[in-house]
Structure formats: C-alpha cells, structure tokens
Structure 1
Amino acid sequence: MDVRMFTVGPVQENSYLLRREGATEALLVDPGDEAPRLLGTIDALGVDLKAILLTHCHFDHIGAVAPVARATGAPVYCPRGEVGILQDIMAYVPWPGFGPFESWDPEHTVSGGETLHLAGLEIEVVSTPGHSPDHVTYALAGEAPPLLFSGDVLFQSSVGRTDLPGADHATLMASIAVLLDRFDDETVVHPGHMGLTTLGRERASNPFLSELTGS
C-alpha cells in the first residue's frame, strides 16, 4: 500500500491519500484543509481520485472537501448522522478565527456495516461513535498489515476528546473496545491527529485504555 499522510490546517489534522503501490486510482480520507496541497499531490502522482471518505464532520476534517470534490469529481462518503454538518459547516464551527469553509452535499452516506469496493480496495465501515455522534472508522482488514483510518477515536497514548457537543466518553470507549476486539494487534492505526501507531501498542501502553484492558 502507498499511504501518504498530510498534516494540514491550524489544528494539525491528518489527511490520507491511499492507493495500491503504483495504482492509478486513489482514495482520500478526511481532507481537512489545504486543498491546493492535496490537489497538487493528486496531480503530481497522476492518480484518479475515486472517492473522499469522511470519518466524521468536525470542521478540521472536512474543510477542504468542497474544493477537492469539485476539482476531482470524486464522490463524498459521509457519516449519515452528520450530513447536516457537512451541508452547513460554518454553523458548526465553535470557535472564531477558523474558516471560512465551503459546505458540500455528499453523494453517499455510511453508518457502519457497509463494505465499500473503491480504487481496487475493499474497505469495511465500522461504526465508532463517541467523539462525534455518527463517527465511523475505515478498515482495510485484508491488507498486510491491516490498516485502520480511525479519525479521532484513538491516538498514540490518547483517545478522542468527549467534551464537544454530541460526544460521550462511555460510547467512545465502547467503540474502541470494538476495534480492539475485531482487529489484530499489528493493525496500523492512521489517526486524525499525531503519528501512526498500532492497536497492539495502544492495548499495551495507552493509559486511557486501562479500563478496557485491565492493565
């Protein structure tokens, strides 16, 4: 797999461009900001962007959706319960000084349980609410190693914040428990902030997971 991480915007959000090594089709996960940078890489690689996948609709994960979708023609897959946020982004930006961001009407919705076949990849959509009401994680379980694009559910030695509207700590921990139960320790976690990690590393050392792991 060829996975390229772009840390973008004032909140330092991670966007991911992924494809099979050398493939001409690619996917983009959570284009949060800096559309010219993302589009420049897509153009430089000469790839056809087949879809934009959103884990959730906080502004730092969707700020570049509209310009990237318009420029590439790629359809947007949005968590069903958060479509209204994508359609009216600035109404949901809680702090001054961010944006302006352009809203977008997504072409597809997901809610967990779907299997997507895009750009030659098989992607499981896993419902992982808690940080946001309808957050999802995208899993490429058939790869070696398996990959998770976890948005703001799980980080290196941390977890997603639950002090935002619609968030809930117990729900978030239940979502993380689902990921730990379903996927192997070598699964590489591509989070929405900070660096890459693995489920095994977080199971063993993440202090926020002690209530799940008994450590």
Structure 2
Amino acid sequence: MKNQLLKQYKRAPVTSVLIALCVVIYVISFLLYGEEMNVYEGMAFGGYNPVFVQLNHEYYRLITANFIHFGIIHIAVNCYSLYGIGMFIESSLKPKKYCIVLFISALATTGLPYLLYLINGFEANTVSGGISGVIFGLIGALGALALKYRDIFLDVFRQLAPNLLLMLFISVVVPSISLSGHVAGMIGGFIATYIILHIHTYKKKSKYSDLVN
C-alpha cells in the first residue's frame, strides 16, 4: 500500500498534494463542526460569498472557498474526480504549467461569479465551496489540449464528453450545486491552457528560427 501511494505521488505530485490538502482541511472542519457544515459554518471556514468579499474586502475567499467541503460525500466525490482527471492533465502539461492552470481555474471559479455580482448582484445570497470548479477547469484544459493536439487528445475528450454533460446537467437540476462556479472554472481552465500551449508553440518556433538563422 505504501509503495502504491509513493508511485502515485511520483506520477502526479501536484494532484496528490492537492487531494491531501483538501482532506486535511476537511478533517479540521470535521473536528470543528462535525461531518457536515451548514452555510454559517462554511462562511466561518472560508466559503465564498460575494457580499463578504466586497463589503469586508475578504478577497482570500476567492481562493480558500475552493478547498473547503460541506460533507463527506462532497469531498469523496470531488477527490475521486480530481484524482482521475488531475493525474492525466498533470502528466500531459507537466507540474509547472499544471499549477498555473489549477490556480487560474480556482480563481475563475469564484472570480467570474464575483464580477457578475459587481455588475448585477448575481448570487448575492449564496455560500459556496469545493474543488469541483477546479475539476471543471481541468476538463476545460483537456478541451484546449484536444483543440490543439487533436490526434492525441480528441478521443479522450470524446470519451469524457458524456460525463461532462451529466455533470453539467446535475449542476443545473440540483440547487445546492454552483453551476456558475463550474462553468467559470471550465472557462478559466480552457483559456489558461490554450494560452500556455500557444506560448509553448511560439517558444519552440523561435528556438528553431534561431538555430536555422
């Protein structure tokens, strides 16, 4: 078991650390509030609410909200999903670029809904948290990879498409799930990965040009 965990960590160190961080934070919330947190406890523990961000300038919530979970099923489903797609995207992008995509996805998950709140008061009374927006960001990253390298990643994206549609459907029909956070995370992950891939391609072309000139 120990060797298996070590092998998985070596394959995807960033994903492993991210899952461990979510678990540790959940254990702390469990010790403080029990198996499930209510919205007030979630706010006290770093959950996202646009009113608190604006009026109290608690901008840290734009990031901390991504790492809290409201119950055992919530964190179990998210960590399982993160493990599945996270290891694949990390091995495809490599850790440094992967970390950038994770950060942009996390920031977009709360940042884009916050911008909508500033414009029209969007979801002023909601409290949200969880790593699922980042997971959707990684799905967006896979979409960017499939767009850039169709011969390698398009089949993988097609295989995941039914699951993606199901997750989006659940986000729509279940009121407690943040559809805006999921969509925002996916947009952030797609844009971040698309830009990273184009920068990488530009650098390779520039290097080749320097060699031949």
Could you say which TM-score interval applies, normalised by the shorter chain?
Answer: under 0.3
**1 or 2, which has the higher helix percentage?**
2
TM-score (norm 1): 0.25
Which protein, 1 or 2, shows the higher relative CO under an 8 Å CA cutoff with sep ≥ 6? 2
TM-score (norm 2): 0.25
> Which structure would you say has the larger Rg?
2
**1 or 2, which has the higher strand percentage?**
1
